[in-house]
Amino acid sequence: MRRLVQRRGYNGFGLTELLADAGAPKGVLYHHFPGGKVALAVEAVQRSAESTVASLRAVLAEKRTVKAALVAWLEGAAERLEKSGFANGCPLATITLETAATEPALREALDAAFSQLRAALAETLTSEGRSRAQAERLSALFISAYEGALLQARAARDTSIVVSTLRALEPLLTPDPA
Amino acid sequence: MRRLVQRRGYNGFGLTELLADAGAPKGVLYHHFPGGKVALAVEAVQRSAESTVASLRAVLAEKRTVKAALVAWLEGAAERLEKSGFANGCPLATITLETAATEPALREALDAAFSQLRAALAETLTSEGRSRAQAERLSALFISAYEGALLQARAARDTSIVVSTLRALEPLLTPDPA
DNA sequence: GATTCTATAGACCGGTCGGTCCAGCGCAAG
DNA sequence: CTTGCGCTGGACCGACCGGTCTATAGAATC
């Protein structure tokens, strides 16, 4: 599921293909997910959000500074993208753009996902001494830059745009300035 | 075409619906676009890129500082998004995430589109006294932030994330600092 | 062992997909 | 007026879409 969405988007694959991959027949899916494809995607979004938040928290805990952590996190994402031949993008971003206007349940799950991501980052930023307002603004910027940079990298089949984005962002990530 | 992609993505609508909207039969489409849906989308991407670059250039020419121009540009995009009920997003971003891995011709057109956008911005940034390298980095960041912020705004059905992103970005947009 | 119920398997549904093809309309050349 | 042809209109194609439904396998209860 995750891989299919990453590569081709929510509307880019069919349930038949998904189930064939998983070796499961349709009856199973509609037994566990009476809501069909949308319900399945909601679950996938929640799982994806959890693992993304977890990986962000992990790198924030591992690195000494927020700046080092965020650089490592975004560079890691770019590296994984490149290693997949620029096929495996962020599933949250893709589903958002495809379905935000047509599937309210999915849109809400995506909103929650991005909120969690921003909140996790903002939390650490405040612990580094920033005001809550500043931490929230910077989190918004960083997550925006993260998604936008990876998006452009996919179009270009080149991660240098991610590196450029990160270099421009670095002055804001050092703890002492405004 | 543009509106359909903005709302539902490349895979979210069918040619039958598109042609019904336009009041044209299929024969016409395949006469003018033998490449089918992909060729049609390539053309749409090029048009969209042109008009986006033009709107960026216009606001850069109109405002006294780059900072004022970029704030106005992104806030304008957020306002249009909100006015459409958060339905009309950036078509370039959506098509990129859906098709970058599967449609090389489309991916190249999208790469060109983002490159033009970054180049137009970088050009003005150098004319404001920045080095070429700095201008390119800041362009990369701004376009990334632009796409990422609008994406999150669609998920949230709320433009405040765009405002936050912009506030965090402002220190980098004033001409004098590093 | 008989009964009950949940979970699985997959055939099947109408609808829509992107794409093809041909009949014929209408204009331009002679 | 006739001919030729570029363009248009839309029926039609096989494939696949998301979703439904029935038969039954298998575990749990008594």
Spanning CA of B33 to C1' of D10, the rounded length in angstroms is 18
Q: Cα separation of A71 and B72, whole Å? A: 29
Whether A116 and chain B come into contact, CB under 8 Å, resolves to: no
Tens-digit pLDDT profile for chain A (178 aa)? 999 999 999 999 999 999 998 888 898 999 999 999 999 999 999 999 999 999 999 999 999 999 999 999 999 999 999 999 999 999 999 999 999 999 999 999 999 999 999 999 999 999 989 999 999 999 999 999 999 999 999 999 999 999 999 999 999 998 764 4
Q: Cα separation of B9 and B58, whole Å? A: 27
Which single residue has its CA nearest the C1' atom of nucleotide C21?
A: B27
Q: Cα separation of A142 and A166, whole Å? A: 9
Segment B57-82, tens digit of pLDDT: 999 999 999 999 999 999 999 999 99
Return the CATH superfamily for domain B42-173. Answer: Tetracycline Repressor, domain 2 (1.10.357.10)
Q: Which nucleotides of D are covered by protein (CB under 7 A)?
A: 7-12, 16-23
Give the start-to-end residue ranges of the domains of chain A.
Answer: 46-173
Which of the following CATH numbers is that of domain A46-173: 3.30.450.150, 2.30.30.170, 1.10.10.10, 1.10.357.10? 1.10.357.10
Pair of tokens at residue B121: 């911005």
What's the gap in Å between the CA of B51 and the closest CA on chain A?
18
What's the gap in Å between the CA of B26 and the closest CA on chain A?
23
Q: Which nucleotides of C are covered by protein (CB under 7 A)?
A: 7-12, 16-23
Q: Cα separation of B90 and B77, whole Å? A: 9
Question: Collapsing DSSP states into helix, strand and coil, what is residue B97?
Answer: helix
